[in-house]
Amino acid sequence: MKSVRRLSIAALVVACTHLVFGAIVRISGSGLGCGENWPKCYGYWFPPLSRPDLVIEVSHRYLASILTLTVLSLATAAWLARREPDVAGRGGPMRSAFGAVAAVFAAALLGGLTVKEGNAWWATVAHWLVAMTLLALVTATAIRAGMLGGKSAAVQHGTQRARRSARAAAGLAIFAVALGGVTAKIPDGAIGCSTVPMCAPAAGVSRTATYVQMTHRAAAVLLVLHLFGMVMMVRKRRSEEAPIVVRATYIAFGMVILQLVVASSMILLHLPPVLRSLHEATGVGIWLACFALAYLAHRVAGHPEPAVVIPSDPAVVIPSDPAVVIPSEVEESGLVAERGPTSPDPSTPSLRSVARDDTKGESLRSVARDDTRGESLRSVARDDTVETKPKPAPTMAVIVARGADL
């Protein structure tokens, strides 16, 4: 399992780096830098530094190859460890690792389709979404292997309400990220609005670009408000929610706040295209945080709720032995306990413990019956606030009857 954990984190790091580099390729217009030349780029294994577009495209290709090898190694390690507990089967890292292998090959095919279609927007967005799916599968593998809070999620209990809210956050996150890809690909989409927070259309920009960016902003605002509501919910219900879910909620909310700062700076400061890729890099982090939140909330909500132990009355303690034990608090308060025999002899009456407080004229009585005879164990407490009358003297008829018995 150790190799699966290490390779899952390695695959996660490479996948995030590959996605960020893909954003740089798209923003810098280097997607067709090498044309249809593959695996070399115009005869170069690594082009000269004087051609940054070729360097970016080749670096993206090499990262894709490293990612493929890492994911294949992860799936192989999971297969070799399939006989270990919690590796194979439902909820184990082996299945999600194989899913990551399928996703990485699908992303490679869509990448080739994107090049053949001349970087068409629909092919680029499809490639982006498959890459996000690959990131989610690698994240799920890491959590199932015990990383990224997976160990804590295996022993903690959460609520169904948090699971539903986290799923909604992940759905809003992938929708906003997909719209971000469309905004970056549509001509003038990145500059469709020139002000923040309101959207003032930039001069010479089509209405389509403005509408696309406004839709992207609306999805981002909905995500921010939803995560803010989740933060308030987990703060109010902190005793009921799993600590790992509470922590993941704070991380996801912090990522969207960081994204607001980056996006506002990108528009107001007119950052160059390379620095604008920070916006998409933060978007990758938001998707990673929201998916991890949803997956952790899903795992902890599937665990049974721990049993609640209700303590018994402190005046009467019922141990495994059928004898009734009067605790020290009762003895210290002046109560004297008289315990009967514990033998289940049929000739012996039921076990009785009487504790009497002479200072208040009150009595505490506990009656215990033997469970071996199918009888229930009872504790009876009586508050004798009225003075008890002494027993009357036996009458002459009783005395004669007793004498006859003797």
Tell me, yes or no, whether 180 and 137 share the same domain: no
- The helix/strand/coil state of 20 is helix
Beta bridge partners of 363: 356
Of the segments 46-55, 94-103, 124-133, 190-199, which one has the largest average pLDDT value?
94-103
pLDDT band at 373 (very low <50, low <70, confident <90, very high): very low
Tell me, yes or no, whether 60 and 133 share the same domain: yes
Tell me, yes or no, whether 246 and 105 share the same domain: no
Residue 241 tokens, joined: 């929610």
φ and ψ at 37, to 5 degrees? -80, 125
Of 163-167, 266-270, 306-310, the poorest mean pLDDT is in: 306-310
125: domain range?
1-148
Of 23-37, 75-89, 168-182, the poorest mean pLDDT is in: 23-37
Establish if 310 belongs to a structural domain.
Answer: no
Domain final position from 121, 148, 175:
148
283 CB neighbour count, 10 Å cutoff: 28
- Count how many domains the chain has: 3
Q: Give the residue-averaged pLDDT of 190-209.
A: 78
Rounded-to-integer distance, Cα 148 and Cα 94, Å: 17
Q: Give the residue-averaged pLDDT of 51-67.
A: 83
pLDDT of residue 354: 39
pLDDT band at 258 (very low <50, low <70, confident <90, very high): very high
Q: Give the residue-averaged pLDDT of 100-121.
A: 82
pLDDT of residue 109: 85
Tell me, yes or no, whether 12 and 141 share the same domain: yes
Tell me, yes or no, whether 131 and 173 share the same domain: no
Domain final position from 114, 148, 182:
148
31 CB neighbour count, 10 Å cutoff: 22
118 CB neighbour count, 10 Å cutoff: 9
